[in-house]
Amino acid sequence: MRDPLHLVILLSLLVRSVSVAASAPLNDDVLGLIVFKADLLDPASELASWDDEDADSPCGWAGVTCDPRSGRVTDLALDSRSLSGRVGPRGLLQLRYLRLLSLSNNNFTGTLSADLAGLDGLRVVDLSSNALSGPIPDELFHKCGSLRSVSLANNAFEGELPPSLGSCAGLSYLNLSSNGISGPLPAGVWSLNGLRSLDLSDNSLVGEILSGIESLYNLRTISLRRNSLSGKVPEGIGGCLLLKSIDLSENSLSGGLPDSMRNLTMCGSLSLSSNSFVGELPDWIGEMSSLQTLDLSRNRFIGHIPGSIGNLRMLKELNLSRNGFTGALPESMEGCKGLTNVDLSRNSLTGDVPSWVFELGVQRIC
């Protein structure tokens, strides 16, 4: 039987070996962050806490969050810190347990590396409001089973949307707005049936909104505003029953409003301004009972404003300006008790200003 002193020595060595084994992965994270910082300019010394290259752990460093059990880096959030330089993948790829990468509102430049696809545990990526450019790498979305939220908005990305987007079945939030993205909408976008929010506004997208949008049955908001999309709004949009906000304004869309829109009873905001929609405003518009904002301005609608619009009891803002509406305003609009802003200018309406305008206390009418 071994003496007690020998057992104490063995136990001490065992503890030390376990400690070293546990600290080795942490050093990988330290190394990764230091390499990542080497590509940056930090004029405000926001990352001064990152200067300890001998640290056992980066968990107390600015913008770094670790898992309390494993001690591994899970979140890197460096938003609005006046950082510039490039988003270098070499350091980030050391962060094998990274789930959130948020670098918004900085001055990062250069292209987005396809190597970032190696961070296969990422759930949230926010690189919005920087000066990143070039195409969005197709490889970025080839292995994206973990991705839930991606925002690359307000950059200078160009080229077409990568077809691999259709592989990201778990994606719930996608914002690529305010870039230079061109080409058509890839059919794969409509296979992302986990999407809750889709914003592709302020780009240079062309072509039609293809059928298949009804597959986005979890969609709450969609904005395709300020592109060059053409053709009709697909009938399938009425299958997105959870939609609360639709913005298709400032495109070249045409035809009439699809009848299926009457099913969108949860929609609170509908903006179709500055297109080429034609025909009469359908009577079923009054069935979209949750509408608070209705903007159909700058189109080619004609005929009378339907009396059913008075059924929109929650309506606050109504803009039907610059169309070809005729006749008088329906008295039923006195039922829109919350109406505050009304713009009916540049039409061919007739008759006197109805009494409900004064009774409701409308703040602005023109």
> Which CATH number does the domain housing residue 144 bear?
3.80.10.10
Residue 52 pLDDT level (bands cut at 50, 70, 90): confident
Q: What letter represents residue 364's amino acid?
A: R
Where are the extended beta strands (E) located within 96-155? 100-102, 107-111, 124-126, 131-135, 149-151
Residues whose CB falls within 8 Å of the CB of residue 361, separated by 6 or more in sequence, listed in order: none
Residue 46 resides in a domain: no
Residue 160 lies in a domain: yes
Is 142 domain-assigned? Answer: yes
For residue 14, tell me if it sits in a domain.
Answer: no
Per cent of the chain over pLDDT 90 is: 78
Residue 231: beta bridge partners?
253
Q: Is residue 327 part of a domain?
A: yes
Higher pLDDT, 106 or 362: 106
Question: CA distances (Å), 187 to each of 165, 173, 197, 207, in order?
Answer: 10, 17, 17, 12
21 located within any domain: no
Residue 144 confidence (pLDDT):
84
pLDDT: which is higher, 364 or 118? 118
265 located within any domain: yes
- Does the residue 35 lie in any domain? no
* Whether the model pTM is above 0.85: yes
Residue 146's contacts (CB-CB under 8 Å, 6 or more residues apart) are 99, 120, 121, 122, 123, 170
Beta-bridge partners for 348: 326
The pLDDT value recorded for residue 55 is 87
**Number of folded domains that form the chain:** 1
Query: Is the pLDDT confidence value at 330 over 80?
Result: yes
CA angle 149–98–62, rounded 5-degree value: 100
Q: Please compute the mean of the pLDDT values over residues 226-243 and round it to a whole number.
A: 96
Q: What residue numbers bound the domain in which 259 lies?
A: 71-85+97-110+120-365
pLDDT of residue 143: 80
* Predicted local distance difference test score (pLDDT) of residue 210: 82
Using CA atoms in the order 32, 37, 39, 40, what is the torsion angle rounded to 10 degrees? 160
Percentage of the chain beyond pLDDT 70 is 93
pLDDT digits (tens, 9 = 90+) for 190-212: 989 999 999 999 999 999 998 88
Compute the distance between CA of residue 140 and CA of residue 37 in angstroms, rounded to an integer.
22
User: What would the pLDDT profile of 300-322 be if each residue is shown by its tens digit?
Assistant: 999 999 999 999 999 999 999 99
pLDDT of residue 23: 44
Confidence band, pLDDT 50/70/90 cuts, at residue 364: confident
CA–CA gap between residue 130 and residue 92 (Å, rounded): 18
Output the pLDDT for position 16.
38
Question: Residues 161-182: pLDDT tens digits?
Answer: 999 998 898 999 999 999 999 9
pLDDT for 24 equals 44
The pLDDT of residue 138 is above 80: yes
Residue pair 155/133 in contact by the 8 Å Cβ criterion: yes
Average pLDDT, the chain: 90
Q: Which two tokens stand for residue 326?
A: 């005729």
Going by C-alpha positions, the residue among 313, 317, 322 that lies closest to residue 340 is 317
The pLDDT of residue 66 is 96
Q: Are 315 and 336 in contact (CB under 8 A)?
A: yes
